Structure 1
Amino acid sequence: MVDDFLFAGDAPEVESVKTIGCWKVLIVDDEPEVHAVTKLALSDFVFQDKSIEFISAYSGAEAKEIINQHNDIAIVLLDVVMETDDAGLNVANYIRNELNNHKVRIILRTGQPGQAPEKQVIVNYDINDYKSKTELTAQKLFTVVLSGLRSYRDIRALEKSHDGLRKIISASADIFNVHSMDQFIEGVMQQLTSVLGCGEEQAIYATDSFMVNCTARKKEHDLKVIAAQGQFADKVGLLVSELGVVKDNNLNNAFKQAITSRSIVYQDNYLIAYCHSRYSTNSLLFVSGLPSDISESQKDLVELFAKNVQIAYESIQLKVELDSSQTELLERLGGAVEKRLNDSSGHIRRVTQLSTMLGEWFGLGDSELEMLKKAAPLHDIGKISLSNELLKKEYDLDEIEWEKVKQCPIRGLEILDGSKSEIIQYAAIVAYQHNENWDGTGYPQAIKGKSIHLFARIVKVANVYESLRSALIYKEAWSHEKAIQYLKLESSKQFDPELIKLVLENDQEFERVYKS
């Protein structure tokens, strides 16, 4: 069968090329000579600075095992007739329909062209090329493999670009969440390395935005990794000096040069881009596996990334700092309310914890849970309008006193209403509505059902449970079982039945919070 291969005359000697990585090509054929001749014909093959790594399988069954072990095979040179007349076609069907792998390029090679009609095979088995062994000269084999690798490269680049775009779109929905911003940068970085055609697909984005006051930073390039991919994917949160990438003197000097010159340094098969900042912070993009023929338009794209990504990130960091300050202010305000109510038992802390837990069981997203967590401590802020005598009264309230208590939600709304802060707006709703009942018998509006905001319904359950469990001036502490039974009896009356169902399913978690 080897004699069927027709090789052209000797090609002129090719100068040795430095390669970075390789393309995996699986040869599936039951004749060892075919493997030897294919490897010989493509021994000096290089495409985009990457050579070929050959993997051999001598039967359809062996080919299936190898395909399962290697999900990055670029091309399968597949014989049709091996242990059975259709062994090759079974392999093609396995790859496409069972493994759902549509990236790998499948090139059929057969010594019996009539065994499987070409048109039928290509259509039914998603074959990318179909060649008779008698027509495959060395030059034609080179052309077929080159064409297959180009297609595989483009499919991988498109897939990677889609993944990056998906991360960007997903993060854009909640762009001011710091975790979403990390995802946003990771997505943009993934798009960038895809467009650049990086062979090794390795990149990190590092900044010292978090380290302005960090005395531990001893080197100019000791930055914190906030996004990474490839071999660095699990290094997020580490310092650049901990990665080992700057141990090479040339690379170390390139890092220093990028920071000193505030520019983009291209060297060997990598780049280091200094990312511009409005503040006195350093941020760097490191990408390795660059092809040798990177174009000017691709360099423009790197420059665009460097100009804009750090500005976006620092804008988010500024918002995070503002949110942190606002959260601290709310906590202090909640503490002031707690002190005014002479509550040293941790009521507000536990109500907040129980509310957050119940919100999580209900299925609230991270941003909603954060809002609920910050709004819950202010649920009783209206009570600061009550006199000390009324707050400390041990026995039943008379009608006038009860009317004053019923005004507390209104006072709470008046204190918090009108703010442009989303957190304060939610806190105002909770303070105003958390005394409403599911059946409409509550106060101050006597609204019912889902007309009561979900946050207020959640806080009401947490507040009543915690109050029942605590020893107050006018009552002794109830047991967990007695408090849960009360919630159950008042389901669909005071409380949202869906929330009570969640409490009953997880009541031990409620008790654990109270004991903490």
Structure 2
Amino acid sequence: MSDVFVFAEDEEHPQPQGGAATPRDGDDTSGAEILDRWKVMIVDDDESVHQVTRLALKRVELDGRPLEFISAHSGEEAKNLIQEHDDVALVLLDIVMETDNAGFEVANFIRHDLGNHMTRIILRTGQPGDVPERDVILNYEIDGYKTKSELTSQALFSVILTSLRSYRDLCRVEDNNRRLDSVVEATSEIFEQHTVDSFVDCLLLHLRNFIPMAPSSEGAFYFAADYVEGRLGFLAGSESMAFKSGDEIFQHLPSDVRALVLEAQNKNKPLYRDGHLILVGRSKAERSLTLYFSDVKPLNDSLWHMLEILCRNFETAFENLLLGIENENHRRNLETRVQERTVQLGEARDRLIHAERMASIGQLAAGVAHEINNPLGFIKSNILMLSDSFEKLLCLSEHYQALEVKGTDEQLVQLKTQLKSADLAYLSDELPSAIFETGEGIDRIRRIVSDLRDFASNEEGKFQETDLNLLLETQLRLLPKTLTGDVDIRCEFEVLPLLLLMDVQLKQAITNIMTNAFEAMSGKGTFRLATARQDNSVIITIADTGCGIAENNKSRIFDPFFTTKDVGQGTGLGLSLSYSVIKFHNGDVSVTSDPGVGTTFCIKIPIMVADSLDSSHL
């Protein structure tokens, strides 16, 4: 802005005393305008000096700003006033007032006590011979030393103009230094942010302190938005902007602001026009951070240059932030995939261990079945022979006692003693029961051996085309009424193709699972049996509303010999056999159960065709 220094013809009417400036004709004396005046303090114990100075300078302006006069009539009064007005541009200071050195003391007070090196100080004296000018300027950090006699109107104008320009330029340098510090601080802080929200909040805070804003007026606002592919998404802004993060705001802006936003995006640079300021920072991903401020004062070249530097800095910081967020997302995705893969490997390891354990148990079961089965055969045969012989012996005894036996008295007594010792009555009551229980025990051992043999050799048999729906329906119908009770049975079968299955083994596997389901319901509840086709597999669902499976038992239900039934009620091999059969069909089985709600078995068997099997399996 160019300097404008105006001096008009003097008007001959007295000036008011005190600190208020004399208004020009038609001037508005509102507080807002007074704030823009250059403050000049006149310090002199001669009131006529105050009046003459005001009269000579009342029409002076610099950069469109008039003068405001503050009067002090002593050194002490000057010290008090200079503390109240820290923005005084110039002090016209008399030396000799209440003391011979009062002016020097005020100068020292301003420079040293207050640390004020901005205000210009011009010493005026009526006794120039007392202290040489050179010594005064060197010792008291003043900007001029004039005698009152040499300060003609023209000289006074020159002194005022020079001093005000000096003060203005110092203020600009100080303001630029402050704003430069602000740029450095803002750059440092925005590079430390790790989220878009904190980045935007930090940037807006520094920009609002950096940008010279006009006095607050109704309708003034600011915002930060994310410009992507023509969409302006709201990030943050003044309270007057009632938007949520991510809301599209472009169509809600005034037409002149929309035009400026588009122009700034097309030119990819900051724009200022009629109080509107648009800043843009574009990333390589064509994502542009857009900031808008209304009611901004005109920017000088120095301020605009620093603002462009700040824009480049926050553009780089924004790009780094987006790259950091992208890298963090990639890192988290990679960690998630590693964790998922680790879980999969763990599950695969567990399945392998389980398969190895099952194979070992199968080999053990085969050996146990073979070793037990042979002695069971002759034990069973001996028990049958013993039972038959005992029946004959009892019959003989009964006939013998019914006969009139001839013999000596001694022999009869001995016979009766032996019969009494044998307690045939007790034997006739208890021995058949013992033989029966022994037979039941042997039959139980046979069932266990049979299950072990089936478990160890479920590969026996041939694959054949099977109607799965018919197989399930048949096995369900064969379950005894004592087991199914009053259960509500629901069947939902989809139309399925003929499947290649080992139907004998699969029948046993399905029956085991269905039997467990009905036993869990104790004759009451709902049983659901369903089939469905899913891609290249068949899904068999067996669900009940029984007691459910305890959480700590879910992982063990397919283990051999694991059972929750009372001793003698189950072998613990049923579900293990079912699991083995399903796995042999390259299938899988999953279980969901809630105690007190019910259990659902979901069996998945791939659809196999004849070409997929070796001829030895057919």
Q: Give yes or no for TM over 0.5.
A: no
- TM-score tier (shorter): 0.3 to 0.5
Instruction: Kindly indicate which of the two structures has a greater share of residues assigned to strand.
Output: 2
> TM-score scaled by structure 1?
0.45
Q: Look at both structures and tell me which one has the larger radius of gyration over its CA atoms.
A: 2
